[in-house]
Chains A and B, each alone.
Chain A
């Protein structure tokens, strides 16, 4: 029974008391000045004229009033009467509201809840008129506390809720924390201990953030209270050791009293009677000294219980009676119930059953009234809670709506910025792409130009190469040409000489007498003369043809196709080639033969091109089979070049002229036979061939709509065949 009472008792009064204290601490921490300092400051100001209407002075006076209201509420009352009068005379409304509220604090600390609430109401009325309503949340919180102490839980909760809302608006973290503390009190009352602890922890977080040591102590104290009620005295002890230690360091009577009282309850629960006694005594001393009514009653009754446990009944009786008297002054049914319950046990033990019965009846009465009022409170609380949560939800909805609007605006702005950024990037990318395209276009244009230039240069180079090749082959041919001109010239010379001699002879013969003349000889001479003139003419034409051919060869091709006698073209080329090689290489020796089909049709072609083609093929053929190295290696082989010409598919539109040049040289190795028509490919030593002969020959055949092919068996023969349209 004792344990139940002990466990049950301390929480509500201590929390209620310290809830009321909160407001004072706000100012105390803000000014951080002691009563002595304030009094000195005020005295200094009182020396000046009109100090009573100076707001700075009145503010200081209020601060002092605060300290007095908490430390000695009795003396505070008369002090505050004067302060109120001064503020009214000075028409300083803020100061007046402040003074009224402090008056309410003092009365509440004295236990005059009804008196305090009228002062608070008056203060609230003025505070609401003031700009910013900064005083309102604090006053509401204090009104809530009074209502709580009076058992008006619904009104209390409403006030606390209004206080939290107001504190959020005015960004008053301290008042918010105080109101949270008081909401936690109501959870405590309802045995919602975990929820209560959670609110206390929220409060603790705020205080730790604002760095207020006093209220950190309060938070630890209240959390310990809850844990004690949860029957977790060891956990409670940890929190209270922190709180008591801090309170001692802070050297604040209020906090030392509070923590010592709670710690005493914990030790009592842990059966550490000595420590509990010591701490109760500390609490009683401080409460008596500073006029803390409710704590005084609490600790007296707690200590009485300890002495009863120890069997010291007289001391227990005295303390319990004193506690009961104090509780009656404070109109505290809980303490009165606890005191009567203890007294009835004591009287019973002492054998005074009449007194025991009286006390028990009183205990029963207060217990019932507490239970009744408790259940009434609970009902009211539940209703209030419903209203409260509704309001809370409205508030949250409103603030969440506001938050939603702000969030939407921010999101919209962000989206707009993102779109703007994306657009900007897109534009930049487009610009970049456009510029790089332009650059590429320019690059392509300039490359094109360069390519065209290179192409025209290549064409010029090719033309030069062709010309060079012509000149080179002309050089090769020079000796042959010389021979071929020399020979007819020789005949012209010799036949003309002979003819002159014949005419001389003829004259001599005719100078003879007619009978001596030899008519056969004359006939013979005349016919020879005729023959010779024919020969001269024939060889003159032959030389002429050679010279013309040479000129044509060196000239750039006109590309004009003319009817050409293939047989004579072949013979001319063959002789040119043979004698050309022979002239350049004295050791050169080769045979050639031609197999030309009779009635070979004339062909429409560019003679100088085809003769160049044939000369190339013939020169190659003679070179292949009759060059010095090859002959040295094959001394028994008779170099032979055979040229054959025929017409295939005669009479049909597909009729083709087929000219083959075959040599019995070493043949062409299969690995290079594919390359021989490529420009600049040559097997001759450097400086002995341009490598363009066969390439140009191939081009000539193609340009005539014909073909140039090659067949070769290494060690046997090589045949180049050109097919030309008839």
Chain B
């Protein structure tokens, strides 16, 4: 199962690779990282249909914002699930994300347990 993380902070990659080390090792999970909305869309477009099933995106990014990316993915790849991870857990962002079809909304610092639970449930669904 392929999951895409989108964040302009590059250290996010290390964070999630370590966090999901076991899952990656076991081959249950494959992680990809994009550092802007544009990059994320390019990755998603490389395969048709895309291999990614889930996208976690930051909201505040230069250029295309996470919410814009959400709308784009939802229109182009409706099957892919998208959840937002933002430092700003305010109602406005939340409402916007949800109304745009986001599956979940996580705030930074990332609560690994709930994130893991989300991903685990995803894996179980596949299994």
Contact = CB atoms under 8 A, between A and B. Distances in A.
B79 interface: no
Contacts of A638: 63
Given A490-B87, A583-B88, A586-B96, A532 B108 contact: no
A351 to B, nearest CB: 173
Given A494-B15, A494-B110, 12 more contacts: A483-B87, A486-B108, A491-B109, A494-B112, A498-B18, A498-B19, A502-B18, A524-B21, A535-B11, A578-B62, A583-B88, A591-B64
B47 interface: no
A495 interface: yes
Nearest to B64: A589
Interface residues of B, number: 22
Given A578-B62, A589-B65, A591-B63, A490 B14 contact: no
30 contacts: A483-B87, A486-B108, A487-B9, A487-B108, A490-B87, A490-B108, A490-B109, A491-B11, A491-B15, A493-B109, A494-B110, A494-B112, A495-B11, A497-B112, A498-B15, A498-B18, A498-B19, A528-B21, A535-B14, A539-B11, A578-B62, A579-B60, A582-B60, A586-B93, A586-B96, A589-B68, A590-B62, A591-B63, A591-B64, A638-B63
Interface string A470-484: 000000000000010
Interface in A507-563: 524, 528, 531-532, 535, 539
B87 A487 contact: yes
B92 interface: yes
Interface in B60-94: 60, 62-65, 68, 87-88, 92-93
B71 to A, nearest CB: 12
A643 to B, nearest CB: 12
A592 interface: yes
List 7 A-B pairs, minimum CB-CB distance, nearest first.
Answer: A591-B63, A490-B109, A493-B109, A490-B108, A486-B87, A589-B65, A498-B18
A602 to B, nearest CB: 25
A19 B68 CA distance: 146
Nearest to B112: A497
Centre residue among B68, B87, B110, B112 by max chain A CB count within 10 A: B87
Q: Which of B15, B68, B109 has the most CB of A within 10 A?
A: B109
Nearest to A539: B11
B60 to A, nearest CB: 5
A589 B5 CA distance: 20
A532 B16 CA distance: 12
A285 B9 CA distance: 163
A489 interface: yes
Contacts of A498: 15, 18-19, 112
B111 to A, nearest CB: 10
Nearest to A486: B87
Contacts of B18: 498, 502, 528, 532
A491 B63 CA distance: 23
Contact of A586 (B19, B87, B92): B92
Contacts of A497: 112
B93 to A, nearest CB: 6
A495 B108 contact: no
Given A486-B108, A489-B109, A490-B110, A495 B15 contact: yes
Contacts of A495: 11, 14-15
Interface string B93-104: 100100000000
Nearest to B17: A528
A412 B108 CA distance: 113
Interface string A577-602: 01100110010011110000000000
Interface in A47-73: none
Contacts of A493: 109
A638 B60 CA distance: 16
Interface in B10-30: 11, 14-15, 18-19, 21
Contact of B9 (A491, A502, A524): A491
B66 to A, nearest CB: 10
A588 to B, nearest CB: 8
A591 B38 CA distance: 11
Contacts of B62: 578, 590-592
A601 B60 CA distance: 32
Nearest to A641: B62
Nearest to B96: A586
A532 B14 CA distance: 8
A535 B17 CA distance: 14
Contacts of B87: 483, 486-487, 490
Nearest to A483: B87
A490 B16 CA distance: 13
A611 to B, nearest CB: 19
Contacts of B60: 483, 579, 582-583
A151 B108 CA distance: 159
Contacts of A579: 60
A589 B110 CA distance: 24
Contacts of A583: 60, 88
A615 B71 CA distance: 31
B110 to A, nearest CB: 6
Contacts of A524: 21
A535 B81 CA distance: 30
Nearest to B19: A498
Interface string A443-462: 00000000000000000000
A486 B109 CA distance: 8
A497 B109 CA distance: 11
A414 B124 CA distance: 134
Contacts of B112: 494, 497-498
Interface string A74-98: 0000000000000000000000000
Contacts of B65: 582, 589
Interface string A632-645: 00000010000000
**Residue from A483, A490, A531, A591 whose CB has the most chain B CB atoms within 10 Å:** A490
Interface in A100-117: none
A531 B96 contact: no
A553 to B, nearest CB: 21
A565 B53 CA distance: 43
Nearest to A493: B109
Nearest to B38: A591
Nearest to B93: A586
A95 to B, nearest CB: 145
B72 to A, nearest CB: 13
A704 B61 CA distance: 34
A528 B63 CA distance: 32
